[in-house]
A and B are shown apart, each in its own frame.
Chain A
Amino acid sequence: MTRFIVRRLLSTIPTLFVIITLSFFLIRMAPGGPFAREKKVPPEILQNLLKKYHMDEPLPQQYFRYLGDVLRFDLGPSFKYKDQTVNDLLGTTFPVSLTLGVMALAVATFLGVLVGIISALKQNKWQDYAAMSVAVLGISIPLFVVGPVLMLVFALILDWLPTSGWIGSRAGWATVVMPVMTLMLPPFAYIARMSRGSIIEVIRSDYVRTARAKGLKENVVITKHVLKGALLPVVTYLGPAFAGIVTGSVVVERIFDIPGIGKIFVQSAFNRDYTVIMGDVIVYSLILISANFIVDVLYGILDPRITYK
């Protein structure tokens, strides 16, 4: 197990290297540049700016300089947010997004599994139909519709929750409710459907018949014999689900005006703020790589048939 973990961690290095290299050159190929929009800059000043950010050097030289900086965990200065480094920017925004994402995924998993269990046990009864209708809606309605509708109902009409802001603001934790509800909807719906399906399948399996033939109570059969096998696929899905949450959070952060990474991600793309874009890419890659890594380890712990060498 330790060997597996070490090997997996080492294997992320080349992955990250490829991602950084590709992104670096792809971004530079896009038309425009960080200073393209500042029209009336005299040529001398532009020249100074380029020099300050080392953009007057040949591209390969810039690339190796950047790699060297990254190795020292220095993601460079921002081109647009004056006097802020990318490390500062990410350091203040990323924890916000991570909190939002983790809360949304936790709620989605908990509710999804719960609804999946109820549906499976009440198969083809009204509880099942109701839950699965909600799940279909959850998968098919886009976040940019759900978010504003929630806001309209709970903030503007009922006035229960604040329209925007984050934990640090005056409204405090009440601000998280709607963003989390919006963001968790697609993975919740997917997890509910998936766990329903796999519970129904496992309930019909031979080993569950054995458990019943032993005289175990039905609730023991479900909790001890059905759920573990049935919920393994859900664990596998958590990796990709986290990816979905990360991209979804860009939209949700915009709707609810949350000071997360999503906002600077979008802005940096418009501004061609090269270093910030690269920082975002690295952070997103790290999130996805570690989410999948955690899922793999978790799977190995939960399924005794898998041995890591």
Chain B
Amino acid sequence: MTDDVILQVKDLKAYFKLDEGLLKAVDGVSFDLRKGETLGIVGESGSGKSVTNLAIMKLIPTPPGRIAGGQVIFDGKDLIPMNDNEIRQIRGNKISMIFQDPMTSLNPFLRISTQMVETIVLHQGLDKKAAKEKAIEMLKLAGIPAPENRIDQYPHQFSGGMRQRVMIAMALSCNPEILIADEPTTALDVTIQAQILELINELSQRLGTAVILITHSLGVVAGMCDNICVMYAGRVVEKGSADEIFADPKHPYTVGLIKSVPRLDKENKQRLYSIPGQPPNVINLPECCPFFPRCDRAMDICKSKYPPVADLGNGRTVSCWLYGEGK
């Protein structure tokens, strides 16, 4: 089972040194990504989802940020100690990324063709003409009508949904093994959200690309992901297969997240659940379970020590004093 693991994140730490103190945005995150798999990373705002994935690509703004430890093993090699030249061979080529806000993620001053062609020329060694043909083909795959005309336009001539399609086409143009999609639909219209998710799903399956899908909401990942990582305050609190997590969530935070997904099969009369309280400020976090102030099952030990990772077998882990040796 481990042979088809293509990305192994081990105890990854990314800290920001701010005036207010040390912000441990990511503090010991581990997960595996298998070939062709779709992994969902879920958590509230500020839980460190984006920073985790920027750290994988070594794109954390330094200073104030830095990778404080851990390994990111891709293709048998650790990316963290790589120099700029080596990591650039990976970026956009083996691992691509699309971002939350398609309105600002494309360069407004350059034509779509320029932005797509430069990536393809860089990584695939095609000449400009062939690269442009490849770009048109990718745009067509991504559902852009009349791509041979639209490719010479500028980003502002595209709607938000269309721009995200362009981002997807661009990200997949070099046939990456991994696509990281950081909340690709949050900034879009609800009606367009489903289309974009469906597009990512379809293309990644067709091209055999593994996907890390970052999102706020479990509702989004439910239909799409094989496995799920739930993050809270810079750590993974629970992970496992999507089916198991939905059927039997262990961590009280996961339970809360599932309860807060709007569902059509239940009566719509009751108000939508939301987890009480606010996500913690991760600056100078004390040694405790960061979720205990909001947890309805908190115990004394939760206030004094961070829970260890309990392995429940079958790739399922949870960090909570209710489980494993802490029980």
Contacts and interface: CB of A to CB of B under 8 A. Distances in A.
B91 A304 contact: no
A225 B108 CA distance: 10
Contacts of B84: 218
A206 interface: yes
B207 to A, nearest CB: 17
Majority secondary structure of chain A interface residues (helix, strand, loop or mixed): helix
Contacts of A212: 59, 91
A9 B93 CA distance: 50
Contacts of B109: 228-229, 302-304
Contacts of B38: none
A213 B98 CA distance: 9
A297 interface: no
Contacts of A302: 109
A217 interface: yes
Contact of A206 (B61, B91, B105): B105
Interface residues of B, number: 30
Interface string B84-103: 10001111110011010100
Given A204-B61, A303-B109, A215 B104 contact: no
B57 interface: yes
Interface string A217-230: 11010001100110
A210 B106 contact: yes
A214 B110 contact: no
Contacts of A205: 104
Contact of B154 (A206, A229, A304): A304
Contacts of B99: 206, 209-210
A225 B110 contact: yes
B110 A305 contact: no
B163 to A, nearest CB: 11
A122 to B, nearest CB: 13
A209 B92 CA distance: 12
Interface stretch (B27-35, B115-123, B129-137, B220-228): B115-123
A229 B107 contact: yes
Interface centre among A204, A206, A213, A220 (most CB of B within 10 A): A213
Interface in A194-244: 204-207, 209-218, 220, 224-225, 228-229
A217 B93 CA distance: 13
Contacts of A304: 108-109, 111, 154, 156
Contact of A213 (B61, B91, B101): B91
Given A304-B156, A305-B154, A214 B105 contact: no
A220 B107 CA distance: 13
A215 B123 contact: yes
Given A216-B119, A225-B107, 7 more contacts: A207-B108, A210-B107, A213-B57, A214-B96, A214-B170, A215-B89, A305-B154
Query: Ordered nearest first, which 4 A-B pairs have the shortest CB separation?
Result: A214-B92, A215-B91, A215-B92, A206-B104
9 contacts: A204-B61, A206-B104, A210-B97, A213-B57, A213-B96, A215-B93, A216-B92, A216-B119, A224-B110
